[in-house]
Amino acid sequence: MNKKEILEIRRQFTPENCSITRICGCYVDYEKEKKAQMSKTFLTLPEEEAFKYFDIFRHTLSGTFGKHLLSVDFPLESELSGEAYQLLCQLRTSRLEDEELVHSFFDKVIENYVFAENYYITLIHAVYDVPGKSSDGSQMFDASDNVYEHILCSICPVKLTKPGLTYNAETDLIEERIRDWFVEAPVGGFLFPAFSDRLCDMHHALYYTKKPEDLQPVFIQNVLGGNVPLSAMDQKTSFQALVSDTLGDACHYEAIRNIHESIQEMLEESKDAPEPLELSRSDVKKLLAQEGASEESLRTFEEEFDQMAGESRTLLASNIAGTKHFQVETSVVSVKVPADRSDLISVREIDGRNCLVIPVEDYLEVNGMPAPVFKNSLE
């Protein structure tokens, strides 16, 4: 899925476009005990309640693609006979009207989702009549090419509101506020199946996590039955290890900066593309070859890349190269410049010492105080 496709599904979570047929919910306490369950036709919900749910569903499809939103692919054996995958398909086909299937799903989530507090699981079924597009790309709302039938799961923390004072309009008094349990924005969830090329993609799901460093791999494997994607941090650290191992002694400052600048150029060229820039094994290999990696080390790189990400997998460029800053650190100094201005920092030998050199133009500030630069102050 790309940004446009995600936004297209998000736009369905409004009163005007709502295509949700049914909603099921399960409230779970910190001891993994079910405290309450519900199953309703979505359109029977009071308007204000429906609005709150719309907000939850939109949050489940929000964030940065590749960090908070990740594509989960299903191995062939999972699609053919995997218990988790088959349950998702059955839930979708049954339109959540089979209570036994819904209860089985909630049990599976409770068993595999790691969360030490109370939380609320919502599961919806929706049928989106996908409008066709004219030759100029505009939507034709009176024509439909296909139907996208899907389920969306959201997992929301439930926390006790903070103590405080409130105004009681009936008594005209300031009183202690009654604390109650509040459903917060989701911290996890998924969309199944994916919506790729504006079509139903049964080979993938879109997974959401509020915390990119907490992917919940057991949940992905046992509830979705899919392959666990590399997190943003794992992609970055794996890429750094590949560069270091492949370049060896050639992994110096200039080589690393050159790789950074090459990726920044590719990001700039693809900034208007609908999908985020992904680097394949051959793309990364080319970058390393440009910095002098030997043929032998490149062959080893191919093996390591396949072990890390798989031959057909890619690394998201924005995950492996900072899109906002280029940062250089020593044991006592940290220097940060805009990502596209890495040329401002160079390493030179001065008086027998390796030094970071940063040009100072017409402005310098010291501890928040402007400090004009005079020629004799640099001598």
Per-residue model confidence as pLDDT tens digits over 157-194: 999 888 888 888 888 889 888 888 899 999 999 999 99
Find residue 348's DSSP bridge partners: 355
Q: What's phi and psi for 121, nearest 5 deg? A: -100, 125
Give the mean pLDDT of 196-201.
92
Residue among 293, 307, 313, 314 nearest 245 (CA): 293
Give the mean pLDDT of 276-285.
88
Structure confidence at residue 379 (pLDDT):
46
**369: pLDDT confidence band, cut at 50, 70 and 90?**
confident
User: How many secondary structure helices (H) and strands (E) does the chain include?
Assistant: 11, 20
Structure token digits, residue 124? 């919806």
pLDDT digits (tens, 9 = 90+) for 68-105: 999 999 999 999 989 999 999 999 999 999 999 999 99
pTM value is 0.82
pLDDT greater than 50 at residue 254: yes
Structure confidence at residue 378 (pLDDT):
46
Q: What's phi and psi for 143, nearest 5 deg? A: -135, 140
Residue among 62, 90, 159, 152 nearest 120 (CA): 159
Round the average pLDDT of the chain to a whole number and report it: 89
According to DSSP, the β-strands at 204-209 and 325-329 are: unpaired
252: Cβ contacts below 8 Å, ≥ 6 apart: none
Structure confidence at residue 9 (pLDDT):
95
Structure confidence at residue 316 (pLDDT):
87
pLDDT greater than 50 at residue 377: no
Helix (H) or strand (E) holding 25: strand 20-28
Structure confidence at residue 304 (pLDDT):
86
